[in-house]
Chain A
């Protein structure tokens, strides 16, 4: 028995290209074309659409990073290039997401360092790159300009634009042909409104990825899930202002009470489980990119996606 997964929908999720290979004017070894879905995830008749991508998050100021990850990765976190390289070759992520969290320090002003960091990460791994920049009006303009310039030709994904904070990111995306992440606080209408604002400033649909904001499982994820579902339903029903791929970062999962207070011997496992199940749920709701911070989550997600993708046999068997 096969369920009809079309529901009379006519819309298609727009496609966004991440990364550029040599032939496309960049230096990445692969580029991804995400989106294009016509129904809910894991329900396609043809097994054609892309499995959700897994992005591994690294940062340039590990001091404020999750202690769970710092413990697991050890000294590696202090060498961004080595960490990035390991994420690519050993952890086997699909994408790297660089958090320039050094820019979140009080009175940060070393803009040239931002450019060097981006260049370093781009040469440490040839996977497509997501960059999470500053969030401070005083430096945003310079930081995003520098990110955009340093990654020119690489079709980066820049984050994170919010309704109160999008012009610099939009400018960098427009000037250097990158895509951007548009984040709204768990609300379908605000998501749409931001996309319209971005459209007005000149960013085209094929350069926008929606971040509906992801709470950790048990800490508001049900709201995120519902917002994602509604965004996807609206898109499939034909609302082109919401028909963009979705990115989710379950970063908060590593900081929740259950993880913090877990038996030290179990802490790592609890953290990974929490991140994994949040990630699975986000993928089920429609996310095309799942971001994780714990290396062990990557393999678990990949395996889960593969089994979710597999065509189920006749009912009752198995």
Chain B
């Protein structure tokens, strides 16, 4: 198409002329008018003002009430025209009655239609409109057509009608007004919008109506004013050629549908993953042993890493999977090979903070594969593919397809596009890993810095109420959930993804006791979420109003009044503790959603937090831990203690090799001079 031949229309100027012209034309209305089969009069005017317009006087009234709105003028003028000249013949539908709108609205609520599109104007070539409409059909959009685009489609053999989700409204673009009167009625029928409540209508149209407008060339000034007026309803206006200026979004035919849908946040759901192996959480627990393995990656045997990063929307092609380097067929059976998994995501609501949380999902998703296995994270990953899967045709590429699909399926609100790059070339893996390591460090710095005092909102977790009915976890940046599985960021993201789910925001409110970490807002939340059972909750104390325990805690912290200290025992420890009880006896005593002063369920990482035992005077209270837990935390704990000037405390904390009874513990603590002995009495 030769662009130079086409007159460019300045949208801004044309719109002004159009609005002026509509204003001049409106008083020319002579006849009274009314549409059939509707309880909503002229639906747009009725929804905006509550006035039923049937003649010039009421039309003028509503027009001025709405600030000379070009949509209102267009609605009145077309209604009079229809009354004067009668409805257009088939295939044109003209005004569509309430009965059909009810059905259309049903499909929208029901989800069998994803959104609505108006395609309007005169296509430059007959094929252009057909391709766009086919794409709209494929993406479950219900498309309304107005103007010469209709004859262009039917000349091109495209079938029109409700059953094809292509609805020809009328022969000129002015009939596009019916698109708006349909949305106004859906808002009143389904959205609880009362006639006359213009702000509710606009809010509904903007937030709920998933509508886009695609404009071909050839609109008159009046029609440009009409289409531009729809922006107020939050519909993106996408134009093909001919138009410049204004707030319309120019696009080309190949990408216009995708761009419009992205702009309005309309997403196509993925339901099946095109790979030659099963994919379900049912396979998650299954490991692949050495003898079942075809190839492996990482695990100390080769270079491997994974990285998920956010990119601007334009830079991620949804569903794209690229393998850089050799595929599975050129890898030797039983060998260890380099692998870099790089996932690029884009999404309107995606945030950089979410990257690490989403990245952790790679672990679950790869394990969902019937013949794929994954452990650890970042540059420590270890991935295997089974012989069975490879024999069925699974290739490296399919890992990418699995990941791309699962991320889109599980985070539809968050992600608009996901692409996966799998690097198997040894040189390129090393290069990419260096870059990934830089990003890991940046992230660590960001999260490490996060303190409870930096945020006003904590998150709750009530997942465990299924079996511990009154249990409420409060998750803060410095205190992960007691199961160790959910951090503050996880809680935040879970809430954003599923606003009515088990993780809810908790405004911490006024500080009641800074030492124990008791907050007015937290108390209020806990009281409600525990169904009135728990009135107070201190986040940093074991002794006074500790958090309730479900049963999932990684470890238990409990007081030992005889030695004026606190001990911690983790789930893996099978023996008796100096308290005289084993982990399982203790767990049975404190679980089930009860608040038990002197006992608290905690995650292992919480021991490393500055908030740990704050209410009791700090980590100096810690007198005993199983040796296994001590070893697990050693590097980080020693560092932490050194930072706090408690360099020698680590060795003063007893374990089962030093003491198994309270008497032995007392002897040991006195021998090493443990600071807890001289602290303020616990009870």
Residues of A within 8 Å of B532, CB to CB, are 237
Q: 0/1 per residue, B460-487, Cβ < 8 Å to A? A: 0010011001000000000000000000
* Given A167-B111, A187-B466: A148 in contact with B106 (beta carbons within 8 A): yes
Q: How far is the CB of B303 from chain A (nearest CB, A)?
A: 42
Contact A141 B110 (CB under 8 A): yes
Q: How far is the CB of A157 from chain B (nearest CB, A)?
A: 18
Residues of B within 8 Å of A188, CB to CB, are 465, 469
Residues of B within 8 Å of A201, CB to CB, are 109
Stretch at the interface among B185-193, B311-319, B345-353: B185-193
Query: In whole angstroms, how far apart are the Cα atoms of A200 and B207 in the complex?
Result: 12
Residues of B within 8 Å of A168, CB to CB, are 110
Query: In whole angstroms, how far apart are the Cα atoms of A148 and B105 in the complex?
Result: 13
Residues of B within 8 Å of A233, CB to CB, are 531
Is A176 part of the binding interface, using a Cβ–Cβ cutoff of 8 Å? Answer: yes
Nearest residue, chain A, Cβ from B462: A189
Is B112 part of the binding interface, using a Cβ–Cβ cutoff of 8 Å? Answer: yes
Q: 0/1 per residue, B173-201, Cβ < 8 Å to A? A: 00000000000000001111000000000
Q: 0/1 per residue, B427-449, Cβ < 8 Å to A? A: 00000000000000000000000
Is A204 part of the binding interface, using a Cβ–Cβ cutoff of 8 Å? Answer: yes
Contact B500 A193 (CB under 8 A): yes
Cross-interface CB contact of B465 among A144, A189, A196, A239, cutoff 8 Å:
A189
Q: How far is the CB of A213 from chain B (nearest CB, A)?
A: 13
* Given A171-B106, A175-B102, A193-B500: A202 in contact with B469 (beta carbons within 8 A): no
Query: In whole angstroms, how far apart are the Cα atoms of A233 and B103 in the complex?
Result: 39
Contact A145 B106 (CB under 8 A): yes
* Given A175-B190, A188-B465, A196-B500: A234 in contact with B531 (beta carbons within 8 A): yes
Is A170 part of the binding interface, using a Cβ–Cβ cutoff of 8 Å? Answer: yes
Query: In whole angstroms, how far apart are the Cα atoms of A176 and B103 in the complex?
Result: 10
Q: How far is the CB of B15 from chain A (nearest CB, A)?
A: 34
Tell me how many residues of A have a C-beta within 8 Å of chain B: 27
Query: In whole angstroms, how far apart are the Cα atoms of A204 and B192 in the complex?
Result: 9
Contact A176 B500 (CB under 8 A): no
Q: How far is the CB of A9 from chain B (nearest CB, A)?
A: 10
By DSSP majority rule, is chain A's interface helix, strand, loop, or mixed? Answer: helix
Is A230 part of the binding interface, using a Cβ–Cβ cutoff of 8 Å? Answer: yes
Q: How far is the CB of A45 from chain B (nearest CB, A)?
A: 23
Contact B109 A171 (CB under 8 A): yes
* Given A168-B110, A202-B191, A233-B531: A175 in contact with B105 (beta carbons within 8 A): yes
Residue with the highest number of chain B CB atoms closer than 10 Å, among A200, A202, A233: A202
Residues of B within 8 Å of A200, CB to CB, are 500
Query: In whole angstroms, how far apart are the Cα atoms of A52 and B322 in the complex?
Result: 63
Contact A174 B500 (CB under 8 A): no
Is B501 part of the binding interface, using a Cβ–Cβ cutoff of 8 Å? Answer: yes
Query: In whole angstroms, how far apart are the Cα atoms of A168 and B107 in the complex?
Result: 8
Is B26 part of the binding interface, using a Cβ–Cβ cutoff of 8 Å? Answer: no
Q: Report A230-269 residues with CB < 8 Å from chain B CB.
A: 230, 233-234, 237, 239
Query: In whole angstroms, how far apart are the Cα atoms of A239 and B527 in the complex?
Result: 12
Query: In whole angstroms, how far apart are the Cα atoms of A197 and B501 in the complex?
Result: 10
Query: In whole angstroms, how far apart are the Cα atoms of A188 and B531 in the complex?
Result: 11
Q: How far is the CB of A131 from chain B (nearest CB, A)?
A: 16
Nearest residue, chain A, Cβ from B102: A175
Contact B103 A174 (CB under 8 A): no
Q: Which 9 A-B pairs have the closest CB atoms?
A: A171-B109, A196-B500, A171-B110, A171-B106, A175-B106, A168-B110, A175-B102, A167-B111, A174-B190
B contact residues vs A (CB 8 Å cutoff): 102-103, 105-112, 189-192, 462, 465-466, 469, 500-502, 528, 531-532
A contact residues vs B (CB 8 Å cutoff): 141, 144-145, 148, 167-168, 170-172, 174-176, 187-189, 193, 196-197, 200-202, 204, 230, 233-234, 237, 239
Known contacts A145-B110, A174-B189, A188-B465, then 20 further A-B pairs from the complex at CB < 8 Å, ordered by chain A residue: A141-B112, A145-B103, A148-B106, A167-B109, A167-B110, A171-B105, A171-B106, A171-B107, A174-B105, A174-B109, A175-B105, A175-B106, A175-B109, A188-B469, A189-B466, A189-B502, A202-B190, A204-B192, A233-B531, A239-B528
* 27 A–B contacts, CB within 8 A, in A order: A144-B110, A145-B106, A145-B110, A167-B111, A170-B110, A171-B107, A171-B110, A174-B105, A174-B106, A174-B109, A174-B189, A175-B102, A175-B103, A175-B105, A175-B109, A176-B102, A187-B466, A189-B462, A189-B466, A193-B500, A193-B501, A197-B500, A201-B109, A202-B109, A202-B190, A202-B191, A234-B531
